[in-house]
Homo-oligomer: A and B are copies of this chain.
Amino acid sequence: MAAPTMDRSTDTPSAAPQKITMIKGLNQALRATMEADPKVIVMGEDVGKLGGVFRVTDGLQKDFGEQRVLDTPLSESGIIGTAIGLAIRGYRPVCEIQFDGFIFPGFDQIVSQLAKLHYRTQGRIKLPIVVRVPFGGGIGAVEHHSESPESYFAHTAGLKVVACSNPVDAHWMLRQAIECDDPVLFFEPKRRYHEKAELDPSIAPQPLFSSRVVRKGSTATIATYGPMVKTSLDAATAGAEDGLDLEVIDLRSLSPLDLAPVYESVRRTGRLIVVSEAPSEASITGEIAAKVQQECFYSLEAPVLRVTGFDTPYPPAKLEENFLPDLDRVLAAVDRSLAW
């Protein structure tokens, strides 16, 4: 077991910029926080010897031991429920839920305890727990392995919900989430796990609960998060060929939403498309539309449009290309907005 150190200067496993996958970015984030703080522990199904089914926790048990990287019983309510007890005891558990569709057995502990204990105890109990959830589709999987359950948690007061979209954000956001004293649902776009980007540890990250304009533009605004950031950027690139100058905002934080940059943008462009893989009914995308139509009422030249998964269960994999928003559906919505 590597000797844990509290020296923050060794936070980053490597000080030189390196090209890494999202998985590597997450893995290094875990390693860095575990080295810095002996109270950070990782728990979940198969996170130990196997390193998780996506290898996000690869090598951690070997280096930090079985007491800091727990291969848990097959029980999601147990993972969340015991993480709460461990947090009360002073630990900072990072729980892995193996796939999005398997968070529901743990839903009661999340909604009834994780979200409410701080409130119930008038702030006396803190729950610095991160629940990591590989989410979304696009990997050709069987049922329950491609869901986007983030809206359930955004609807739950007491939780914070974030989604990363690229390796660099994945790294920093996970570190920030672990350092946050509130429970954070941390959504990782599994279909982007193997994409690469350069992580330069010398560039300080922006605050966790903030959105970011990832492409400036003037024709219309696209607000999105997680796996759809790349899709939206691709749409913007394709649209540029047709003379569209699209602004793309990566929301990053889904609860609380940081919509100031969206308002600012919509006031300039007059048009907003919200893009998400999740079904739209009673969702985060609806929330954004509701807020923006209120805040930017006089700026909107067309209604806020949403491009989302349909209000059906996730279909068989051969249909997921139809189910999931793609570049064309995003651009079609831009066209509709412009034609309004």
Contacts and interface: CB of A to CB of B under 8 A. Distances in A.
A303 B297 contact: yes
A235 interface: no
B157 A279 contact: yes
A120 interface: yes
A303 B294 contact: yes
A109 to B, nearest CB: 8
Interface in A137-154: 143-144, 151-152, 154
A195 interface: no
B287 A282 contact: yes
Interface string A291-331: 10110010010111110001111000000000000000000
Interface stretch (A6-14, A45-53, A100-108, A196-204): A100-108
Contacts of A306: 290
Given A151-B155, A152-B155, A157-B311, A282 B286 contact: yes
Interface residues of A, number: 46
B305 A154 contact: no
A290 B286 contact: yes
Contacts of A287: 280-283, 286
Contact of A289 (B107, B154, B289, B310): B289
A312 B112 contact: no
A115 B116 CA distance: 27
B116 A143 contact: yes
A294 B283 contact: no
Contacts of A302: 297
Contacts of A291: 286
Contact of A313 (B115, B281, B310): B115
Nearest to A315: B119
A101 B107 contact: no
A143 B151 CA distance: 23
24 contacts: A104-B108, A104-B112, A105-B108, A107-B111, A119-B313, A120-B143, A151-B155, A154-B282, A155-B155, A155-B279, A155-B281, A157-B281, A255-B282, A280-B287, A281-B287, A286-B291, A289-B289, A289-B290, A289-B293, A289-B294, A290-B306, A293-B293, A294-B305, A297-B340
Given A120-B143, A120-B313, A157-B279, 9 more contacts: A112-B144, A119-B313, A154-B282, A157-B281, A158-B312, A158-B313, A285-B290, A289-B289, A289-B293
Interface of A: 101, 104-105, 107-108, 111-112, 115-116, 119-120, 143-144, 151-152, 154-155, 157-158, 255, 279-287, 289-291, 293-294, 297, 300, 302-306, 310-313, 340
